[in-house]
A and B are shown apart, each in its own frame.
Chain A
Amino acid sequence: MNKSMKAVYNAVVILAAAAAALGVGALVFAAVGADIAKAYTVILTEPLKDLIGLTEIAVRAIPLTLIALGIAIAFRSGTLNIGAEGQMMMGILAASATAIALPDLPKPVLLPLAVLAGAAGGAVWGTAAGILKARLGVNEILSTVMLNYIAAQFYTFLLRGPMMDPEELVTGSGTPQTVRIPRAAWLDRLIPGTRLHAGAFLALALAVLVFILLWRTSAGFRMRAAGAEAKAARYAGIRVERYVVAAMLLSGAFAGIAGAVEILGVHRRAIEGVSGGYGFTGIVVSLFGGLHPAGIVPASLFFGLLLLGADMTQRLADVPANMVLVLQGAIILAIVSARQFMNNPYVQDRLARKLSRLLGKPAPNPPAGSREACPDPSDSPDPCLADEAEPRTGGGSPAETEEHR
């Protein structure tokens, strides 16, 4: 396939995937009796109509970017981190506890300290899953899911118990929340009257740092090698287990920072429901952004729009906000399906031949018997999506050779 044909092909695949995802969404809209066109219009345009809407998109995009960056680091290193939700909660707890415990510190000290505490809180939770995988071979998807449930209980426990605002006990309302975080730990609001806060700069700066880490340092090179083909990395002397743990540490830290920033910039106290599914949406954002910071930043804005739009459909189109989960699920399924079409030369070749047969033209013959190279370097399979359910135990299938079987 030549370059221009390939571009057309990729565009067709992407459109088909988008249509499939929207179609699944439309089915559910229809099932709740909503006007499909109106519902999509509300989701995709309503938030863009005023300044509040635009800034609220950005407010949602900040934690999404941070979480998605962390997930991309883990994913590129061969680990699927589903645990951002729990890691974010641990980050919130650590950041708010730190800020509340040290109210007298000056802002230049306390604010960074609180963010770092958040990072540490998330990192602990991420590292736990990393060590379980590296040392004991525990499937990280299952362990991070379980750690989410544990973190959620721990979060509730602290907010209802040791960290609860004493005022709540006095007034007797018993709302599970902490006291207000001291002003010195607040992230400044950027535009008066909106909630857009300085965490946006942090998110953008970290996006650049993640790019440098993964593609410009030897540590990042090794992480990506460990993720792309762990066996080859091990044979090349890379300590894969160490990088798995490091990747999960960073991934957890990013989710923890997301939690800290959300508390310090938006809510200014730890309350229930702060994470609100960001950890799961972050997975979709990361995939949608191609597991690359340059894609993740715009992708997080798009999903910020989707999240806000879904909230609005509740009011304007009478569609429950859970709808956004449906769309996210459909988008994940569509993306992972489409990627196989875009990266698999065998599938492309088969499709191309079928197409040319349909058109009645003979397929172009590749050079006989030679297999010197693929036509395009971008044909390479994406390492990040080649995950495995279990480490291979060996002894299963014999090694393959050059023949086509």
Chain B
Amino acid sequence: MPFEPIRSLELRGITKRFPGILACDHIDLTVGEHSVRALVGENGAGKTTLMNILMGLYQPDEGRILINGREVRFRSPNDAFAHGIGMVHQHFMLVPNMTVAENVALGMKSSHRPGRLDLGSVRKRILEISERHELPVNPDAYVWQLSVGEQQRVELVKTLCLGARFLILDEPTSALTPQETDELIELLKKMSRELSVIFISHKLHEVKALSDTVSILRRGRIVFEGRTEDHSPADLAALMTGHEVALPCVECSDAPRPGGPGLLYVRDLRVRGDRGNRALDGVSLDVYSGEILGLAGVSGNGQRELAETLNGLRKPESGSVRLDGVELGGCGADAVIAAGMGYIPEDRNTEGIVPSFSVRENLVLKDVGTGGWSRAGFLRLGPISRNAATLRESFDIRCPSVDTAAGSLSGGNIQKVILARELSRRPKALVAVYPTRGLDMGAEEFIHKQLLARRAEGAAILLISEELDEIMNLSDRIAVIYKGRILKVVPGREATKRSLGLLMAGVLDE
């Protein structure tokens, strides 16, 4: 069906509720032809929900969608595709054990012949699109073999193959290096001459670089709309959060670092990943007492394996991990925890807490068999409850009661539960993996302050993050990991985004 071009797209009064949350609250949004509209907001502001409604993935509780002034109803993504709307989701929607061509064919209904899948026509279309937009992809590669950057390209090609003239991009740069990000923005600029784009982001310099107009979402409402060039990133930031937020920064002392082994000492660590690949290939690090060492890198370069190995969840092939002089390489998680290691894991919902356990139970998860929480194998319910009440107060955990299932809390409060448990154990060293991912600025600020406080008390903190701003704000020193090796360690104050970005891409010498 040849569809008419979208000259205007209007969302009117879109409202969407989820249990306990009003994700979109009467949102109005109008986007014209050949323009780039940035949709800006904190995590949880409702941006993705709104776009999923536009794609027909969610049905709005109220509101209408109009194309060229005529009301349309999208019951499934197929309807959105039929109108030439396509979306690149933040988490790539690619089936890992299928080829690029098969992934495209999944959406390309014209290839679904009776009793036969016409992959030939899909391949042809992929090559056509990739040539026209200078997006090289190999149609016969399996998705799991591709790097994050390549998968990003495949997503774009896939969306264009499905006929998208109106492109929605949800946080497309979140997994890219600064240089890859620049390339993508150039590419999108070029593409916006023929296409309309809605660009979702919370990174304001990208918004400035790419978009013509900007809409800011806060707590499910549009709070601002305007031309991008009229406003500074600082203005936009204030509008986005609703208040001035100055994230805390580390104050590096000028005293030279002590030499010798760090409190957390890692030497020549070699570890295999889940696929049998060598995920860590001789990593050596020292994290000193009273220091935050930031570990920068594109995710998938060994960060997860490093964190898991340091915490006794993965056996190293060789190498040494010591905490305060005690050898922990090859020890189980229980021994590592007993030695004084703290851990804020990557996936807070399945690694940090037991979701169906109450807040109270989660707060004693690590020490339930020891210390004050049990005697002769029997739980001491009184001290456990008092501990929960104290920590709820001091870490500002917002929950109806400490008997609430931890999994039903918001991400920020779940992270506070984890933080409260880990920090109240007074760890000598702490491994924090993406500690603020997906959280709003208020929670981010709180967590950063807590990490700095722990640093001041003398803990050795390894901060693993994809957010360069976070790493640069908090770290005394910054190490860059690339393909399982530490490429370089630089003092925090000397690091620039550009220099880190090159290192993250594996470029050691300029």
A and B touching (C-beta < 8 Å)?
A: yes
**A residues apposed to B, CB below 8 Å:** 216-219, 221-222, 224-225, 228-229, 231-239, 345-346, 348-349, 353, 363, 365-377, 379-383, 393-405
**B residues apposed to A, CB below 8 Å:** 17-23, 25, 43-49, 52, 57-58, 61, 89-92, 96, 144, 218-221, 274-275, 311-313, 332-334, 336-338, 343, 345-347, 349-358, 361, 365-366, 368-369, 373-374, 377-379, 381, 398-401, 403-405, 407-411, 413, 437-439
How far apart sit A348 and B19, CA to CA, in the bound complex (Å)?
A: 8
Given contacts A221-B361, A393-B274, contact A383 B379 (CB under 8 A): no
By beta carbon, the residue of chain B nearest A377 is: B404
By beta carbon, the residue of chain A nearest B362 is: A232
Q: Can you list 11 contacts pairing A with B, beta carbon distance less than 8 Å?
A: A216-B378, A217-B378, A237-B312, A369-B219, A369-B220, A372-B409, A372-B413, A377-B408, A380-B356, A383-B356, A403-B47
Q: B91: which A residues are within 8 A, CB to CB?
A: 397-401, 405
Task: Judge whether A402 and B43 touch: CB under 8 Å.
Answer: yes
Task: Judge whether A405 and B19 touch: CB under 8 Å.
Answer: no
Task: Judge whether B374 and A218 touch: CB under 8 Å.
Answer: yes
Task: Judge whether B365 and A236 touch: CB under 8 Å.
Answer: yes
Q: A238: which B residues are within 8 A, CB to CB?
A: 334
Q: B349: which A residues are within 8 A, CB to CB?
A: 400
The total number of A-B Cβ pairs within 8 Å is 213
Contact of A237 among B17, B350, B366 (CB under 8 A): B366
Smallest beta-carbon distance A222→chain B, Å: 7
Q: B92: which A residues are within 8 A, CB to CB?
A: 398
Task: Judge whether B333 and A237 touch: CB under 8 Å.
Answer: yes
Contact of A374 among B312, B369, B404 (CB under 8 A): B404
Smallest beta-carbon distance B457→chain A, Å: 23
Given contacts A377-B400, A380-B356, contact A399 B343 (CB under 8 A): no
Q: A346: which B residues are within 8 A, CB to CB?
A: 18-19
Given contacts A216-B379, A218-B368, A368-B220, contact A353 B438 (CB under 8 A): no
Q: B274: which A residues are within 8 A, CB to CB?
A: 393-395
Task: Judge whether B379 and A221 touch: CB under 8 Å.
Answer: yes
Between B57, B358, B400, B437, the greatest number of chain A beta carbons within 10 A of the residue's beta carbon is seen for: B400
How far apart sit A225 and B350, CA to CA, in the bound complex (Å)?
A: 11
How far apart sit A43 and B363, CA to CA, in the bound complex (Å)?
A: 48
Contact of A232 among B58, B354, B409 (CB under 8 A): B354
Between A367, A372, A379, the greatest number of chain B beta carbons within 10 A of the residue's beta carbon is seen for: A372
Task: Judge whether A232 and B350 touch: CB under 8 Å.
Answer: yes
Knowing that A369-B221, A402-B439, A404-B18 touch, tell me 16 more A-B residue pairs with CB under 8 angstroms.
A232-B352, A233-B365, A239-B334, A345-B19, A363-B17, A369-B22, A372-B399, A373-B410, A377-B408, A381-B355, A382-B356, A383-B356, A395-B274, A403-B49, A404-B23, A404-B49
Task: Judge whether B345 and A225 touch: CB under 8 Å.
Answer: no
| A-side interface mostly | loop
Given contacts A237-B332, A405-B91, contact A371 B20 (CB under 8 A): yes
Task: Judge whether B398 and A381 touch: CB under 8 Å.
Answer: no
Task: Judge whether A381 and B368 touch: CB under 8 Å.
Answer: no
Q: A372: which B residues are within 8 A, CB to CB?
A: 20, 398-399, 409-410, 413
Contact of B405 among A234, A348, A379 (CB under 8 A): A379
Q: B378: which A residues are within 8 A, CB to CB?
A: 216-218
Q: A376: which B residues are within 8 A, CB to CB?
A: 400
How far apart sit A402 and B405, CA to CA, in the bound complex (Å)?
A: 18
How far apart sit A369 and B44, CA to CA, in the bound complex (Å)?
A: 7
By beta carbon, the residue of chain B nearest A375 is: B20
How far apart sit A234 and B332, CA to CA, in the bound complex (Å)?
A: 10
Q: B403: which A residues are within 8 A, CB to CB?
A: 377
How far apart sit A366 and B312, CA to CA, in the bound complex (Å)?
A: 42
Given contacts A237-B336, A403-B438, A404-B52, contact A369 B21 (CB under 8 A): yes
Contact of B343 among A235, A363, A365 (CB under 8 A): A235
Task: Judge whether B410 and A370 touch: CB under 8 Å.
Answer: yes
Task: Judge whether A373 and B377 touch: CB under 8 Å.
Answer: no
Task: Judge whether B275 and A395 touch: CB under 8 Å.
Answer: yes
Task: Judge whether A225 and B357 touch: CB under 8 Å.
Answer: yes
How far apart sit A229 and B43, CA to CA, in the bound complex (Å)?
A: 26
What are the 4 closest A-B residue pairs judged by CB atoms, nearest first? A369-B219, A380-B405, A374-B408, A402-B438
Contact of B347 among A219, A348, A373, A399 (CB under 8 A): A399
How far apart sit A133 and B438, CA to CA, in the bound complex (Å)?
A: 35
How far apart sit A348 and B18, CA to CA, in the bound complex (Å)?
A: 10
How far apart sit A376 and B404, CA to CA, in the bound complex (Å)?
A: 7
Task: Judge whether A217 and B379 touch: CB under 8 Å.
Answer: yes
How far apart sit A218 and B369, CA to CA, in the bound complex (Å)?
A: 5
How far apart sit A396 and B96, CA to CA, in the bound complex (Å)?
A: 7
How far apart sit A222 and B17, CA to CA, in the bound complex (Å)?
A: 36
Q: A218: which B residues are within 8 A, CB to CB?
A: 368-369, 373-374, 377-379
Task: Judge whether B438 and A232 touch: CB under 8 Å.
Answer: no
Task: Judge whether A236 and B399 touch: CB under 8 Å.
Answer: no
Smallest beta-carbon distance A349→chain B, Å: 4
Smallest beta-carbon distance A331→chain B, Å: 24
How far apart sit A379 and B401, CA to CA, in the bound complex (Å)?
A: 13
How far apart sit A375 and B399, CA to CA, in the bound complex (Å)?
A: 10
Q: A374: which B residues are within 8 A, CB to CB?
A: 19-20, 400, 404-405, 408-409
Task: Judge whether A404 and B401 touch: CB under 8 Å.
Answer: no
